[in-house]
Structure 1
Amino acid sequence: MGEAGQRGGRGAFGRRLGGAAGLAALVGLAWVARDVPAALGGRLTGARAERAARSPQFRDGAFRNRGGSRSMAGAPDRNLLRELVFGKQKRRPTTAVPLLRPAAAPATERELNIVWYGHASALIEIEGRRVLIDPVWSERCSPSAAVGPRRLHAPPVGLDELPAVDAVLISHDHYDHLDMATVRELVARQSAPFLVPLGVGAHLQRWGVPEHRIVELDWSQSHRVGGLTVTATAAQHFSGRGLRRDGTLWSSWVVAGAHRRVFYTGDSGYFDGYAEIGDAHGPFDVTLMQIGAYDRAWPSIHMFPEEAVAAHVDLRGGLLVPVHWATFNLALHDWSEPVDRVWAEAKARDVRLAVPRPGERVVVDDPPPVDGWWQSIA
């Protein structure tokens, strides 16, 4: 093919970018487009679909919340798109979010530490074992590397710098909690099993996770790993990648050792299930509570900060560590509003609180005092 034919084959877009740069951009876009269908995940078939259909949470072809709560509480009472574009909220920090790099921690029989990496990603260090929850290391929480909510701060450490973990927990299949690129790299770098709610294993299988490393649990089911008992517990949320909703289950998690206990909400609205979990599995030394991405248009599926404190009390929690804020811009509230509100409510209800910087290790028995570090950059 002659030069003119090559120019014609690239088209106007390629000519605007010019030569090799244009071709490189087209190749990059092709790779992005190729990965989008894979990032949408897998479909439930065979024994996996049959097991999902037998779940008490599965009715009329989909998973359901107890009490039938919906992801949207009726029609929104204002124009969300207009507020998204023209709203006056300060939805990102004014300067860089401070990041820390946790040093290696000694493994002891009664050790309990939390390392928060940003958003909902955290490492639980419990009785000499390590459990990684909802790891998302990609630049965007989206099926596309080109569009979608972008990180407001870098991960404080690389995936190649993580210590060996004993389990990876996934709360549900939304992109800010389950990331294809992160999963694929963890498969290559770690040997731990992935503990997930029913149906989520279909996504992992499509992304190359060996079947023997996939453990799917319904609510109230447990799995033993490395001396820990990990239990999937109820949550009030929804699921979906792409157009299909609620084809996989969502959950909160209990991680229990011989002496220490941790609770993680995943994403959830406030509901009476927290008190039930506290009665069945508490008290908890520490709770990791979702506090961000709330709005009055979807009160049933994300908690407001005050509700997160109430849930912590229901759970009979000791130390509260807020998660699900600071990293991705997923709602219309100010960037720092969730943590300001949770701090005020914790003080009002005499709840112990730790607010780490991303990458900071919280020693649960000796947590750092809350110092308002976010206020100077908000």
Structure 2
Amino acid sequence: MTAARATNRYYQGPVTDHFDGVRFFLANQPQDKGFLELARWQLGGGRKDWPDSFPSPFRDKPPAEVRDLRSTLIGHASFLIQVAGLNILTDPVFSERASPVSFAGPKRVNPPGIAFDDLPQIHAVLITHNHYDHLDTDTLGRLWQRYRPTVVAPLGNDAVIRAEHPEIPVETRDWGGSFDLGNGVTAHVEPAYHWSARGINDRRMALWCAYVLTTPAGTVYHVGDTGFGDGKIFRAVRERFGRPRLAHLPIGAYEPRWFMEPQHMNPEDAVKVLEIIEAEQALGHHWGTFRLTNEGVDEPPQELAAALQVAEIPEARFRPLRPGEAWPPSA
């Protein structure tokens, strides 16, 4: 008897150059790691201790509106981007854990850098992918109840959100698609070297992405999670959108490299991306909030400083933000 062909629980659509009818993929990206490789990592040692608390010295109470551009790290990959009168959240996670359950899984070691009650009116939420440290359905429910924002996500993630919150409409787009957020701001959905899953049987059944925001105040490139790969996707962003005014680049969750390299950049990779896209300013995130991998809690900014020195790039041009820290700092 022939085994039943796998089906996609989140998305049904035509086969494309990055969707085989069941799973999404990116050409030339290495294959998924299997159970034996996961066990080798988990049992292989080398995991640095993290403190139970790693408080940030910053705490932001953002203005209600910004006409130019302001970006504040809430924690991990959660940013508040304020531009052209809009307030936009990326991958908002206000929960205590990045986990499907409240009693186990990665626990934050610092509170959100903006308290939920200090958020201004939220006009839009951008979701990059469905991993629990990026798609927090509890937070989405709270945001919907209070602000009714527009929610944008790559293909298939609407089904993930609807399973918990059927009342929330989600605008989904494929790579290369876009959505008009208003006020001259457009969110463009771009590839990333990553993957998706909420459980053990849904790997790559929902799409993942990075975002480019074209705005009256300049271009913002937000990368939630990615490896460096061959660098092609970053060169394509530079060619299509020009030099970004601001780039959010992940610098954490990168050790051990033999396991993490295809899906998570290290600081040296992030500096290479900065050199390719030629952003005026880069902000480092995805470090120091949830312990996901082997490196120490404060290693990413140290490694970033070393990589910038080698590349002869001033440290001020690529700042590893702490939760609650805003750019520009004087805004």
TM-score, with length taken from structure 2: 0.88
Distance 2:307 2:114 in 1: 31
Q: Which runs of 5+ in 1 are unaligned?
A: 1-41, 368-378
Counterpart contact for 2:62–2:118, Cα < 8 Å: no
Given that 2:211 and 2:222 are in contact with CA atoms closer than 8 Å, whether structure 1 keeps it comes out as yes
Paired residues in the alignment total 315
Q: Is residue 80 of structure 1 aligned with residue 37 of structure 2? A: no
Distance 1:315 1:136, change over 3 A: same
Query: Could you tell me which of 20, 25, 43 is aligned with 2:9?
Result: 43
Q: Which structure has the bigger radius of gyration?
A: 1
For 1:55 and 1:333, locate their aligned partners in 2 and report how far apart those are by CA, in whole Å.
37
1:363 paired to 2:323: no
Quickly say closer, same or farther: Cα 1:356–1:269, change in 2 above 3 A: closer
- Structure 2 partner of 1:276: 236
Question: Given the alignment, which residue of 247, 271, 275 partners 1:313?
Answer: 275
For residues 268 and 209 of structure 1, do their structure 2 counterparts lie closer, same or farther at Cα, with a shift above 3 Å needed? same
For 2:37 and 2:15, how far apart are their aligned partners in 1? 34
Give the 3-state SS of the residue equivalent to 1:277 in structure 2.
Answer: helix
The alpha carbon displacement at 1:302 in A equals 0.8
1:1-378 correspondence to structure 2 within 5 Å: 43-44=9-10, 49-51=11-13, 53-72=14-33, 76=37, 79-84=40-45, 87=46, 89-93=47-51, 96-105=54-63, 107-109=65-67, 111-210=68-167, 213-227=169-183, 228-243=185-200, 244-270=202-228, 271-294=231-254, 295-296=256-257, 297-349=259-311, 350-351=313-314, 352-363=317-328
- Distance (whole Å) between structure 2 residues aligned to residue 363 and residue 340 of structure 1: 22
The AA in structure 2 aligned to 1:64 is F
How big is the shift at 1:83?
4.2
Tell me the amino acid that sits aligned with residue 285 of structure 1.
Answer: R
- Whether contact under 8 Å (2:61, 2:114) holds in the other structure is no
Please state whether the residue corresponding to 2:60 is helix, strand or coil: coil
When the two structures are superposed, what TM-score results if normalisation uses the length of structure 1? 0.77
CA distance in 2, matches of 1:261, 1:153: 30
SS in 2 for 1:261: strand
Measured in 2, the distance between the counterparts of 1:304 and 1:108 equals 32
- CA distance 1:283–1:78, change in 2 (3 Å): same
Contact kept, 8 Å, 1:159 with 1:185, in 2: the verdict is: no
Percent identity of equivalent pairs: 29
Q: Given that residues 138 and 182 in structure 1 are in contact (C-alpha distance below 8 angstroms), is that contact kept between their aligned partners in structure 2? A: yes
Q: CA deviation at 1:320?
A: 1.1
Q: Counterpart of 1:70 in structure 2: which amino acid?
A: Q
Give the superposition deviation at 1:185. Answer: 0.8
CA contact under 8 A between 2:69 and 2:82: conserved in structure 1? yes
Deviation per CA, 1:65-108: give whole Å up to 9, x if none.
12242243997599422345xx4x54324864224322333745
Aligned mates of 2:232, 2:92 — CA distance in 1: 28
Helix, strand or coil at the partner of 1:220: coil
**1:55 Cα deviation after fit:** 4.4
Q: CA RMSD in A?
A: 2.4
Q: In the alignment, is the contact (CA less than 8 A) between 1:236 and 1:300 conserved in 2?
A: yes
Change (3 A) 1:281 1:135: same
- Whether the aligned pair in 2 keeps the contact of 1:55 and 1:218 (CA below 8 Å) is no
Indicate if the aligned counterparts of 1:170 and 1:178 stay in contact, CA closer than 8 A. Answer: yes
Equivalent position amino acid for 1:320 in 2: A
- 1:141 and 1:108 map into 2 onto residues whose CA distance is 30
Q: Is the 8 A contact 1:72 1:298 kept in 2?
A: no
Which has the larger helix fraction?
Answer: 1
The alpha-carbon distance between structure 1 residues 106 and 173, as it changes in their structure 2 partners (threshold 3 A), is: closer
Residues 102/223 of structure 1: CA separation in 2 closer, same or farther (3 Å cut): same
- How far apart are residue 246 of structure 1 and its match? 0.6
Query: Secondary structure of the equivalent of 1:172?
Result: coil
Q: What CA distance in whole angstroms lies between the structure 2 residues aligned with 1:78 and 1:183?
A: 33
User: What amino acid is the match of 1:276?
Assistant: A
Assess if the C-alpha contact under 8 Å between 2:77 and 2:91 holds in 1: yes
The 3-state SS of whatever aligns with 2:12 is helix
Flag structure 2 segments of 5+ consecutive residues without an equivalent. 1-7
What secondary structure, in the 3-state scheme, does the structure 1 residue paired with 2:28 have?
helix
What is the letter of the counterpart of residue 272 of structure 1? K
SS at match of 1:43: coil
* 8 Å CA contact 1:115, 1:362 repeated in 2: yes
Letter of the structure 2 residue corresponding to residue 309 of structure 1: V
